[in-house]
Structure 1
Amino acid sequence: MEKSPELNNNQNLNSSLQREKWCGHELLYKFQNFWFPLAYLEATQKVLANFKPVPKDVILASFPKTGTTWLKALLHSIINRSPKQDYNNHPLISNRPHDLIPSLETKLYVDQENDSKKTEFLAVKNPEDVRILATHIPYQILGEVLNSCECKVVYVTRNPKDTLISLWHFVQKSHLFDEDPWELEVAVDQFCNGVVPFGPYYDHVLAYRQEFLKRPQKVFFVTYEEIKENPKHYVRKIGEFLGCPFEGENGEEEIEEIVRFCSFENLSNQEMNKSSELPIDFPMPYNSFFRKGEVGDHINYLEDEMIQKIDAVTKEKFHGSDFVYGV
């Protein structure tokens, strides 16, 4: 099949971009001050050229390994709930969260032309239907697209040390890096320097937070730790933000059921989420998306010197921007 001029132009552009070795044979390419694996860079460029959000869209934005899978389950359950939800036949029993809420750049726009299911998902059949999509693309790159209509954005972030450890464990699940593993000391240095997929982490978080402060009616910003501490409160708040509040005599019961059903313990024990099989279009097994889901797990892996190094960057980047978080 003949390649489009747009694709050829992007390939010419990408060949001239700054590159850095990540792990295994993987290179990261610097595009608009952020780092991407080549496949996701090309998909991101397709998103920028082709994706047209509509007002009813809900976009779940996040840096990798900050609670995305959990938020996908929560968002789908909040938006698609019914007064008498049968949790024995809930969509999350027969579908993985990433299938119900696919990512723009890691799913829908990767070889999109060869997959009718992806094209079907992107089609807007009824403008009144709520379409939930996910992305790791930084706001600095995707902001113009997101602001082209009144769609809603939910952004979740996580303590930088736990984010790094979750990402580090995630990478270990891929056989692509068996011969050249991502050593933890190297991972710490690269994370602090921003040279990780979709990094720098700090710039990613701060831009979405800044947009939330400017337009809280457009962007809902929440931390993984906040939801873990009080999940019922944040399920209620997200419902209000999305225009589907929990009301009436059954409202509190609905919230409790969603929190219970979408808990890490329940989702990780679903047979399909325990599978060690590889998806067709992703190099990690299905069970790699469910590890521990704990707050503070970094203490079991990072040495004091590593913690101090990450904390120093966190204070400079976050605390220096009036976001006192992460230390």
Structure 2
Amino acid sequence: MLSRQETRKLLSRAKTLDCFLQRHILVSVSVRVVLMENGDSDEGYDSSLPVEKWCGDDRLYQWKGCWFRHQYLLGTRQVLDKFKPLPSDVILASFPKTGTTWLKSLLYSIINRSSGACLRSNHPHLLVPTLEVQLYGPRQQSFSNFASTGSSSRILATHLPRQILVDAVEPADCRVVYVTRNPKDTLTSFWQFVLKSSSYEEPWPLEMAVEKFCNGVVPFGPYYDHVLGFWKESLERPEKVFFITFEELKDDTKTQVKRLAEFLGCPFNGDGGEEEVVDEIVMSCSFEKLSSHEVNKSSEHSPWMRLPMSSFFRKGEVGDHRNYLNNEMVERIDAITVEKFHESGLMYGVN
């Protein structure tokens, strides 16, 4: 028979175990509830993956060195399983909020020698769909023209880091255009983008956004690993990976459009008529022009995200972080940027 002291110890351990189990069950349930509330099934949820709380009740899952929201992890696995790349494909790779929408417009216009008519009636994300979101994500859309094997180049976008994307496109050896942006402006734009999301009821404090960004716990992060993966690849294989910054595009869009055309194998020949085409592309793809189209001002939610179509156009400026980040935040991000980039030869993103 147990003594009174032994009985008390046993009861104490039982209560501790009960509390632990309750906490564990509540966390597991909360993760699954969030997934269901976001409109995404928890099918394929892998409890062995590292999990971090991100924004609101949302969680990120780490897989192959990258952090994913659940629906994009499912989409990524579908890309690796089902995507059949073609040698003629052009892949636009980017970290979120680094100029993706602008590059989609430019690449579409360069390859199709577009005068802007398509851009007036189609959102750039519908002209150049994102692999793990629109084509293979849980809310995937139908893009019948991307199933063709014709001679014209398909333009596809992705936020996947190099170490994952290479498994999807290496067999076809596609051309990749990678765009990046000053980390402080990237963070600011990303934070503003999240604030517009209808998925989160409570505002996301800027201090928390900075903390998560610096620790690399953001969708498709860490940012620095993402940039370095493509930067190093562009040095090793410049004929296949074109590395460009948002700031370079803003500084001289016309020159960069010509460089992109050369890389894509559809150069402008330099005569008067072609110069006019370049000027037309630069004008029709400018932030002012794109953001003025009704299709891009629409409050209607996109089919693939709970955000109005207008959310993809904010300011398109260089240095907007100065309006939001305090000196302490700037110094912290700059210090991390120097630490991460200095050995790579990429001296970029520091004031």
Larger Rg: 2
Shift in Å, 1:284:
1.4
Q: Would the aligned equivalents of 1:319 and 1:325 in 2 still touch at CA under 8 Å?
A: no
Q: Secondary structure at the match of 2:199?
A: helix
Distance 1:123 1:176 in 2: 32
Provide the TM-score with structure 2 as the length reference. Answer: 0.85
**Alignment partner of 1:96 is 2:123:** yes
Q: For 2:146 and 2:280, locate their aligned partners in 1 and report how far apart those are by CA, in whole Å.
A: 30
Cα deviation code 1:77-131 (max 9, x no counterpart): 000016xx4x4xx11111000000000011110137x75x24x2431242x1210
Alpha-carbon displacement from aligned partner over 1:51-102 (angstroms, at most 9, x marks no partner): 12101100000000000000000000000016xx4x4xx1111100000000
Q: Is the 8 A contact 1:164 1:191 kept in 2?
A: yes
In structure 1, what is the equivalent of residue 69 of structure 2?
Answer: 37
Matched, 1:152 2:184: no
- Give the structure 1 partner of residue 326 of structure 2: 303
Specify the alignment match of 1:11 in structure 2. Answer: 44
The residue that corresponds to 2:6 in the other structure is none
User: Once the 2 structures are TM-superposed, how far is the Cα of residue 277 of structure 1 from its aligned partner?
Assistant: 1.5
Question: Quick check: 1:183 aligned with 2:205?
Answer: yes
SS of 1:142's equivalent in the other structure is helix
Task: Work out the CA distance in 2 between the residues paired with 1:145 and 1:27.
Answer: 25
AA in 1 matched with 2:346:
F
**Is 1:326 matched with 2:323?**
no
Q: Distance in 2 between matches of 1:215 and 1:173?
A: 38
Aligned Cα RMSD in Å? 1.5
CA contact (8 A) 2:71 2:138 kept: no
Please say if residues 43 and 106 of structure 1, whose CA atoms lie closer than 8 Å, have aligned partners that are also in contact: yes
- Which residue matches 1:123? 147
Alignment of 1:41-60 (within 5 A): 41-60=73-92
Q: Secondary structure at the match of 2:272?
A: coil
Q: String of CA shifts for 1:18-71, please: whole Å, max 9, x gaps.
A: 100111221100001110000000100110111121011000000000000000
CA offsets 1:253-288 (integer angstroms, 9 cap, x no match): 111111011000000011111112211221111111
% identical equivalent positions? 57
Task: Give per-residue Cα distances to partners, 1:136-193, cap 9 Å, x unaligned.
Answer: 00011111322211311000000000000000000010121123x2210011010011
- Equivalent pairs counted in the alignment come to 308
Q: Distance in 2 between matches of 1:145 and 1:279?
A: 26
Name the residue aligned to 2:340.
317
The residue aligned with 2:266 is 244
| 2:134 aligned partner, one-letter code | K
Pick which of 281-290 and 142-151 moved more. Answer: 142-151
Q: Secondary structure at the match of 2:55?
A: coil
Shift of residue 321, structure 1, vs aligned partner = 2.2
Residue 256 of structure 2 is matched in structure 1 by 234
Show structure 1 runs of 4+ deviating over 2 A: none
Give the gaps of 5 or more residues in structure 1.
1-7
- Identify the residue that residue 81 of structure 1 maps to in structure 2: 113
- How many Å separate the matches in 1 of 2:332 and 2:162? 26
CA contact (8 A) 1:232 1:255 kept: yes
2:244 counterpart SS class: strand
1:57-76 equivalent positions in 2, closer than 5 A = 57-76=89-108
Q: Which moved more, 1:141-150 or 1:102-111?
A: 141-150
Q: Distance in 1 between matches of 2:304 and 2:348?
A: 35
Match of 1:222 in 2: 244
Residue 202 in 1 paired to residue 220 in 2?
no
Task: Determine which of 267, 271, 274 is the counterpart of 2:297.
Answer: 274
Which 5+ residue runs of structure 2 have no aligned equivalent? Answer: 1-40
Q: Does structure 2 conserve the Cα–Cα contact (< 8 Å) formed by 1:62 and 1:157?
A: yes
- Inter-partner Cα distance in structure 2 for 1:150 and 1:110: 23
Shift of 1:134: 0.2
